[in-house]
Structure 1
Amino acid sequence: MKKPFLDQHFLLHTPTAQHLYHSYAKDLPIIDYHNHLSAQDIYQDNHYRSIADAWLSHDHYVWRAMRGNGIDEHYITGAASDYEKFQKWCATVPYLAGNPFYHWAHMELQRYFGVTDLICTENCDKIWRQCNEQIDGDGFSARQLLERMNVESLCTTDDPLSDLRYHRHLAETDFAVKVLPTFRADDIFNIDNSKKFVNWVAKLSSLTDLRINKIESLYQALDLRFDYFHEHGCRLSDLGLKTVPYSDSSTLKDADRALSKALAGQPLSDKEINQFKTKLFQYLGQKNYDLGWVMQLHIGVLQDTNQRRFEQLGGATGFSAIDDTCIAQNLGKLLSLLDYHRAMPKTILYCLNPKDNYVLGTMAGAFQDSDFGPGKVQLGAAWWFNDQKDGIVNQLKTLGNLGVLGRFVGMLTDSRSFLSYPRHEYFRRILCNLIGEWVELGELPDNEALLKRMISDICYYNAKSYFSL
């Protein structure tokens, strides 16, 4: 007998999986501890002009898929009308079998709009009308979309130079969802991008009213920004590492010399770049430790690989790829540097290249400590190109094989779209199916208390405790 598509037991292939999901996972609140939503949109309670505006305007996953279907950029990020863009998206979806967006797109229509039609050219007009009739009514503003998905708290991704005004304004409202900033340190770390780095330091200098010409004054200025973020509820930082730097010979004097050369517009050698980054990483780790924050490390993005499209459209528009550089030795040395000085904060390690899952899984195990409780160092959730069914299962199995799966802090959206929250449901269904399979095969005991605790902890309670939310 053929199974229906996207019914209540979607992705739940055993009775045990169905029981675990519907009894313990389905109704838990969502803690979305890493995303790229706009605090301004949330504060202003943004309303959308159409389903295309809500669904397609900010999601580079969608844009990549449409390009792969041969759609002209005019209908993706160009000046085409919302309806024309929606038509092209509906014409693309039928070709996405095997892509997680085939599941996500249909889940999003069902969960937010109650639309169960397949997304295709033939149903385009009907779906357009049904969704837009609801968007024009009540219940589909930015805040209402979050509340509809039972989001309890979320952490945005923010430049350390941000004034965080909208986070501050939100904290003064009665909005039930907690919206907190995250300290994203990439711009200060990437001294090898000299022009951008120098411009960023100049803005930091102006913002803090400090003359930054030495490593000590840079640290002093960053101290002020860390304190400012902490006062505004920030409890997480994030650092994207394209490659993992390390220098055995790095001293403050070396970092100071590299900083002075960069600010003077002089080129830096690879050695000087690594010396600077090693000392700055040590500083960032120490600050996270002192403040009791969680430090997230996202490793392995080959950013904006298409130079022509980068010049045409800018960064973060769907042209990144997975890098394949070696990371183990330098990452181990960086983390050991923090640990040796008793400055290792709670840390989440994400890898974009799935070949590195076992590297990060074993690396996490090498730096566990009881000073911040269980699961101090986490193998991060399946990220970006990996947040599909196979990638999620691979990450869960890796953590199960190498670590303490029951302490995992669960899924995140990493999304710019307010319609992306069914991805948490997607993860929960996959998790319950995997655990249910182990039970049905006799590889886990059919013990209700054990299974209830495992599922509910991974889906919600571990994150709530780990992030102190």
Structure 2
Amino acid sequence: MKNFLDDDFLLTTDTAKTLYHSFAKGLPIIDYHCHLPPDQIAEDLNFKNLTQIWLYGDHYKWRAMRANGIPEEYITGDRSDYEKFEKWAETVPYTIRNPLYHWTHLELRRYFDVYDILSPATAKKIYDECSEKLQTPEYSVRNLMRKMKVEMTGTTDDPLDDLAYHQKIKKDGFEIKVLPSFRPDKAMAADNIQALNEYIQKLEGLSKTRILNFGDYLSALKGRHNYFAENGCSVSDHGLEQFYAEDYTDAEIDLIFKSILSNEPLSHNQVLKFKSCMLFNLGLWDHEKGWVQQYHVGGLRNNNTRLLSKIGADAGLDSIGDFSQGVAMTRFLNKLDMQDRLAKTIIYNLNPVDNELIAAMTGNFNDGTVAGKVQFGSAWWFLDQKDGMIKQLNALSNIGLLSRFVGMLTDSRSFLSYPRHEYFRRILCDLIGKDVENGELPDDIEWLGKIVKDVCYYNAKAYFNFN
């Protein structure tokens, strides 16, 4: 019987162990998409206790606590930090076979050298020991990133962000690249006219120009795109239910935008046309600058209206959606490709039913100009767990080229999430190791080791070319 989380955790063959320990384990981390707050990196924050770094904003844990019957006052409410931690410690033993169980204990070990199993019996000891460490200089957020060998991290930023914290980080000479990503979801959200008009007004103030028509709007938004590029951005990101690729005319979009400015409600078809136009223009800008564009598709968000009204979005009230993806996706990608203006593209899928569809779709638009130009992105959100990762890796392997994959990312708001890269690397090595020992791949450890190193680090380094 193997020991829990030993050196060979998730590695079930000798080949897998060799691939991980000799090739994957020591590689730096390029975390090209996450939701870390750049202000905390700029300030080199020390968290006061384990709850603040571990439970604040972590909707994965919040969902588990709710499912375990923990009242909301101990999750997002006004209970003390230690009381919240106690309830998390009470929940952890019931998370067995959920990735949270593995992640929790990996994080305790990799950051704090704590090997106890978290439970009500160990909660006080672990809380006190980790909280004490977190208040030392060694555990500032920058040093936590250094400890995990992070080379680059890509934050997720609204076009209206002034990027002052990114500028400070660069000015400080911090050796780890912290670069913004252009996330324009709010700029195209025509299904909420009031919120979109508020956004337009803020854009007017920032751009110091009146926005009287759609051309003005695009021009002001393009100015923000340029500003992001001037501040080191080379990546965009979109959180979509599905792609938008409706036919539209310029005249139609002009009328739709006039209705938006007049606070007139739009039909469903008008909303789709506006989003289609915005998505296409944003894609043109990304290609023009040589950016990588990322699309996260398939999320069904904000399902619980009662809790949403109390605690807001990004609180663990989202789920997998069952949207139709294929037709709009191919129309969108093809429209850009027909003009030879399709940027390097990564598509992340949230519904495993669509894995093969998306793996096959990306292959339609690889044109030989860049290895892996259009990518089936890593298992995302509800799928970034062992089974989800294996399904994504298998779909990609069977239909595309695993060897050109840009690998894992955290997509996290926590500075303690970097062991997810280790989790992915172990799973990848085990998958390849099993194929070798089943006779499905040759026992060429140097070649396979190179593939592992590429997927875990070098492919992303070459694909993104962060400066």
Residue pairs, 1:75-90, within 5 angstroms: 75-90=74-89
**1:57 equivalent in structure 2:** 56
Q: After superposition, give the CA deviation of every residue in 1:414-437 in whole Å (9 maximum; x if it has no partner).
A: 000001110010000000000111
How far 1:244 moved relative to its partner?
A: 2.7
**Is the 1:43–1:170 contact (alpha carbons within 8 Å) kept by the matching residues of 2?**
yes
For 1:464, the aligned partner's letter is K
Cα distance in 1 for residues equivalent to 2:189 and 2:131:
43
**Is the 2:39–2:165 contact (alpha carbons within 8 Å) kept by the matching residues of 1?**
yes
**2:409 equivalent in structure 1:** 412
How far 1:280 moved relative to its partner?
A: 1.3
How far 1:295 moved relative to its partner?
A: 0.5
SS at match of 1:122: coil
**Is the 1:215–1:252 contact (alpha carbons within 8 Å) kept by the matching residues of 2?**
no
Gaps of 5+ in 1: none
Cα distance in 1 for residues equivalent to 2:281 and 2:136:
50
Residue pairs, 1:437-448, within 5 angstroms: 437-448=434-445
Q: What TM-score results when the alignment is normalised by the length of structure 1?
A: 0.98
For 1:358, the aligned partner's letter is E
**1:449 equivalent in structure 2:** 446
How far 1:216 moved relative to its partner?
A: 1.3
SS at match of 2:458: helix
Residue pairs, 1:22-421, within 5 angstroms: 22-248=21-247, 250-371=248-369, 373-421=370-418
How far 1:169 moved relative to its partner?
A: 0.8
How far 1:449 moved relative to its partner?
A: 2.6
Gaps of 5+ in 2: none
Q: What TM-score results when the alignment is normalised by the length of structure 2?
A: 0.98
SS at match of 1:184: coil
How far 1:137 moved relative to its partner?
A: 2.5
For 2:416, the aligned partner's letter is L
Cα distance in 1 for residues equivalent to 2:135 and 2:271:
52
SS at match of 2:315: coil
Cα distance in 1 for residues equivalent to 2:155 and 2:244:
26
How far 1:205 moved relative to its partner?
A: 1.4
How far 1:52 moved relative to its partner?
A: 1.1
How far 1:129 moved relative to its partner?
A: 2.1
How many correspondences in the alignment? 466
The farther-off stretch of 111-120 and 192-201 is 192-201
The farther-off stretch of 190-199 and 151-160 is 190-199
Cα distance in 2 for residues equivalent to 1:370 and 1:352:
28
How far 1:65 moved relative to its partner?
A: 0.6
Cα distance in 1 for residues equivalent to 2:153 and 2:456:
14
**Is the 1:113–1:131 contact (alpha carbons within 8 Å) kept by the matching residues of 2?**
yes
For 1:440, the aligned partner's letter is E
SS at match of 2:238: strand
How far 1:210 moved relative to its partner?
A: 2.0
Cα distance in 1 for residues equivalent to 2:388 and 2:204:
42
How far 1:138 moved relative to its partner?
A: 3.0
The farther-off stretch of 226-235 and 440-449 is 440-449
SS at match of 2:122: helix
How far 1:213 moved relative to its partner?
A: 2.2
**Is the 1:304–1:315 contact (alpha carbons within 8 Å) kept by the matching residues of 2?**
yes
Q: After superposition, give the CA deviation of every residue in 1:15-62 in whole Å (9 maximum; x if it has no partner).
A: 100100010101100000110001110010111111111111121101
Q: Give the alignment's Cα RMSD to 1 decimal.
A: 0.9
Cα distance in 1 for residues equivalent to 2:87 and 2:26:
34
For 1:29, the aligned partner's letter is P
SS at match of 1:240: strand
Cα distance in 1 for residues equivalent to 2:74 and 2:382:
23
The farther-off stretch of 454-463 and 202-211 is 202-211
Cα distance in 2 for residues equivalent to 1:409 and 1:168:
27
**Is the 2:389–2:424 contact (alpha carbons within 8 Å) kept by the matching residues of 1?**
yes
For 1:195, the aligned partner's letter is Q
How far 1:132 moved relative to its partner?
A: 2.0
For 1:283, the aligned partner's letter is N
How far 1:267 moved relative to its partner?
A: 1.2
How far 1:357 moved relative to its partner?
A: 0.9
Q: After superposition, give the CA deviation of every residue in 1:235-260 in whole Å (9 maximum; x if it has no partner).
A: 10011112332223x12211111111
Cα distance in 2 for residues equivalent to 1:468 and 1:95:
42
Moved over 6 A (4+): none
Cα distance in 2 for residues equivalent to 1:37 and 1:463:
19
SS at match of 2:153: strand
Q: After superposition, give the CA deviation of every residue in 1:212-235 in whole Å (9 maximum; x if it has no partner).
A: 122211111111111100010001
Of 425, 437, 456, 1:459 maps to 456
Residue pairs, 1:16-27, within 5 angstroms: 16-27=15-26
Cα distance in 2 for residues equivalent to 1:318 and 1:173:
35
How far 1:403 moved relative to its partner?
A: 0.4
For 1:90, the aligned partner's letter is A
Cα distance in 1 for residues equivalent to 2:278 and 2:463:
25
Cα distance in 1 for residues equivalent to 2:127 and 2:415:
18
